[in-house]
A and B are shown apart, each in its own frame.
Chain A
């Protein structure tokens, strides 16, 4: 197997010569290449915006899961206070499941952060090179004969073509990572709505209902005791009157 470096160089060159094959003469080659560079600059800017959006979604989901963790912890305590170890265990098991999901989300957030940094660096490099190319393109057009221009174009174009391929890969990788993250986020959403994880964000989980029943049971007991006391003292008053 050939080395990774030579293979990368070969692929990069192939991508760019494929692009240049479309133009017919030096001036056209320069203008065409420049337009594609501007287009790629727009693509990389869009790529950065997409990563930022994906990161926001991830943060929102993390916040939701964190709130659920806090709630489950409180419910476990509530259940223990009511001597329902079974319910407390159930709550803690779910809490631990959610914490695992949170860890996964954390790793993905870090990966997205790295992709964003790379895209920003790539945009900066491409932007500087596009500007340099624009200047050189005008010089070549103005000063050289067609044959000479061809050589000069070759030099300038290979350098920027390489940057374009590099930026293209950075955009593609960021897109792949964003899609993986979205797939995971949707999977968590689906798990929670289908009930496999239970909808911790809704107010009525099974745990909520059972704890609610416990609370209302003890309220009924209290009221009953109070009424018994009242009714009891009323009867005593009657006895006294007779």
Chain B
């Protein structure tokens, strides 16, 4: 499956890696809930590391959508919280005025 590391690009990873990512993701969500920034940062870095090490980079010109999107590995706790708010951290895309 294809995984996007936000701010970095897309990677093709196998099912085993994907499963590992889900486990880490669950723990990351718990870290956000517990307000533990160091732990969140550690987990995001482990997720990104697993993708970088075990994944194959998808060329930039491919237009495939990703099966999973991982937030930037230097995401702050505050940014992670904003991701769960209504406006969702990511800004609106430019729209014609």
Closest Cβ of chain A to B57, distance in Å, is: 11
CB <8 Å contact, A162 and B69: yes
CB <8 Å contact, A22 and B94: no
Given that A16-B93, A155-B63 are known contacts, is A2 also in contact with B29, CB under 8 Å in the complex? yes
Which residue of the partner chain B has the closest CB to A22?
A: B95
Q: Which residues of A contact B4 (CB under 8 A)?
A: 162, 166
Question: With contacts A7-B84, A16-B93, A36-B96 known, what are 14 further pairs, Cβ within 8 A?
Answer: A4-B83, A11-B88, A11-B89, A11-B90, A12-B69, A19-B92, A22-B96, A43-B94, A128-B61, A132-B62, A155-B63, A166-B6, A169-B7, A169-B90
Q: Counting CB contacts under 8 A, is B36 at the interface? A: no
CB <8 Å contact, B93 and A15: yes
CB <8 Å contact, A3 and B22: yes
Which residue of the partner chain B has the closest CB to A176?
A: B79
CB <8 Å contact, B74 and A114: yes
CB <8 Å contact, B65 and A4: no
Given that A158-B65, A168-B91 are known contacts, is A4 also in contact with B8, CB under 8 Å in the complex? no
CB <8 Å contact, A136 and B33: no
Q: Which residues of A contact B74 (CB under 8 A)?
A: 114
How many pairs of residues, A versus B, come closer than 8 Å at their CB atoms?
Answer: 136
Q: Which residues of B contact A159 (CB under 8 A)?
A: 62-65
Q: Which residues of A contact B65 (CB under 8 A)?
A: 155, 158-159, 161-162
Q: Counting CB contacts under 8 A, is A129 at the interface? A: yes
CB <8 Å contact, B92 and A18: yes
Q: Counting CB contacts under 8 A, is B54 at the interface? A: no
Which residue of the partner chain B has the closest CB to A18?
A: B92
Residues of A at the B interface (CB closer than 8 Å) are: 1-12, 14-16, 18-19, 22, 32, 35-36, 39-40, 43, 114, 118, 121-122, 124-125, 127-129, 131-133, 136, 155-156, 158-162, 164-166, 168-173
CB <8 Å contact, A129 and B61: yes
Main secondary structure, interface of B, reads loop
Which residue of the partner chain B has the closest CB to A42?
A: B94
Give the distance in Å from the alpha carbon of A75 to the alpha carbon of B84 in the complex: 54
CB <8 Å contact, A8 and B7: no
CB <8 Å contact, B83 and A172: no
Give the distance in Å from the alpha carbon of A163 to the alpha carbon of B30 in the complex: 27
Which residue of the partner chain B has the closest CB to A132?
A: B61
CB <8 Å contact, A121 and B83: no
Q: Which residues of B contact A122 (CB under 8 A)?
A: 7
The A-contacting residues of B in range 15-45, CB under 8 angstroms, are 21-22, 25-26, 28-30, 32-33, 44
Q: Which residues of B contact A14 (CB under 8 A)?
A: 88
CB <8 Å contact, A4 and B63: no
Give the distance in Å from the alpha carbon of A36 to the alpha carbon of B93 in the complex: 8
CB <8 Å contact, B92 and A15: yes
